[in-house]
Amino acid sequence: MNWEKLLVVTPEVEHALADGQAVVALESTIIAHGMPYPKNIETALRVEARIREEGAIPATIAIMDGHLRVGLTQAELEIFGRQGENAAKVSRRDIPFVLARKQNGATTVASTMIIAAMAGIKIFATGGIGGVHRGAMTTLDISADLQELAQTSVAVISAGAKSILDLGLTLEYLETHGVPVIGYQTDHFPAFYTSSSGLGVDYRMDEPEEIAEALHYKWGMGLIGGALIANPIPEEYSLSPAAIEAKIEAALSEAHAQKIMGKALTPFLLSRIESLTEGDSLAANIELVLNNARLGAQIAVELAKKEEN
C-alpha cells in the first residue's frame, strides 16, 4: 500500500502549504464530542472564519472513509456535528483501527497533532488540552495529549488544560518531558473556564511575533516536540473559580458513582458541567476557542514570515 495516499489534503490547504502561507490545524472532537448540535457546527464555522480574518487558512482534521482528512467542507463538518458521539473518538492508539474499519473518526489533540505534522502544519488551535486527571496517582489516567506534546513538533494554542484535571500534576508532567509552557500576556497558567489557576508558566510572551520567533529557533535547531501556548479566556467570559470548582466536584462525584472513566470521562464531565452551570460553561467554551483561533492564526502568520526568510 502507498501509505501517503491515506493523507487527503484539500486543494486550498495544499496550495497554502506549498506557497508557505499560514495554516492552522483544528480538531474535530470538539465538534463531535465537545458541544451539542447545532452549536458545534455554528462554532466550527465561526472558528474557521476567525482564522481567515487573521490571514491564515483553517484546516479541520478528521478521519473519514479510511483517510486522514486535512480540511473539511461545510457538509463534512455537518456530518460530524450531527453524528456526535457516534463518531469514534480518536487518539494516537485508535488511528489505525478507525482507518481499517472505514469509520468516521473525530480527532483529539493527540491525533490532530500527528496528522497535522504529517501534512506539514505546525500550529494548532483548540479549546483545552487533556492532562493528568484528578486521582491519577491511583487510576493512572493521563491523557495521551501530554506525551504527544513531548514528541510531535506542533505548537498547541489552548486556554490551558481543562479545569476538570489536576493542573499541578499536568504542568509537572510537561516539565519532565521538556514541553515549554508559554503564557500569552500572562504569568499564570489559565484553567480553561477561568483565566488563572494560580500556577505559573515557564515563559511569558506578550506578542505573537515573539512566540513565533521562539518556535522558529526551537524547530530550526532540531529540537523535536511541541509547545503549549496558554491563552487565557477573555476576562469578560471567565467564570467564577469557586463556582466552577463546585460544579466540577459534583460532576466528578457523578462520574465516580456511574463508573465512567477513560475516553468517556471528559465528554461526560463537560456535558454535566454545562447542565450544572445552566449553559454558562458552554458559552465560555465557545469564546475561549474563538480566542485561541485568533491567536493561533496570528502566530501562524508570523511563523510563515520567518520561515520564508
Q: Does residue 305 have an active-site annotation? A: no
Catalytic residue selected from 27, 54, 274, 302? 27
Helix axis angle, 167-176 to 144-151, nearest 10°: 30
Provide the β-strand partners of residue 90. Answer: 107
- Distant-in-sequence, close-in-space partners of 1: CB < 8 Å, separation ≥ 6: none
Rg of the chain on CA atoms, in Å: 18
Is there a catalytic annotation at residue 302?
no
Could you tell me if 107 and 62 are in contact, meaning their C-beta atoms sit under 8 angstroms apart? yes
Residue showing cell 463518531: 87
Q: Cβ(106)–Cβ(32) under 8 Å?
A: yes
3-state secondary structure of 142: strand
Are residues 232 and 159 in contact, defined by beta-carbon separation less than 8 angstroms?
yes
Q: Which is catalytic among the residues 89, 122, 162, 263?
A: 162
For the record, the C-alpha cell of 121 comes out as: 502544519
- How many CB atoms sit inside 10 A of residue 120's CB? 13
253 burial class (0-12, 13-18, 19+ CB within 10 angstroms)? exposed
Query: Residue 118 and residue 131: Cα distance in Å, rounded?
Result: 23
Buried b (16+ CB within 10 A) or exposed e, 295-305: bbbbbbbbbbe
Residue 171's alpha-carbon distances to 143, 146, 154, 160, in angstroms, are: 13, 10, 18, 10
Active site residues: 27, 162
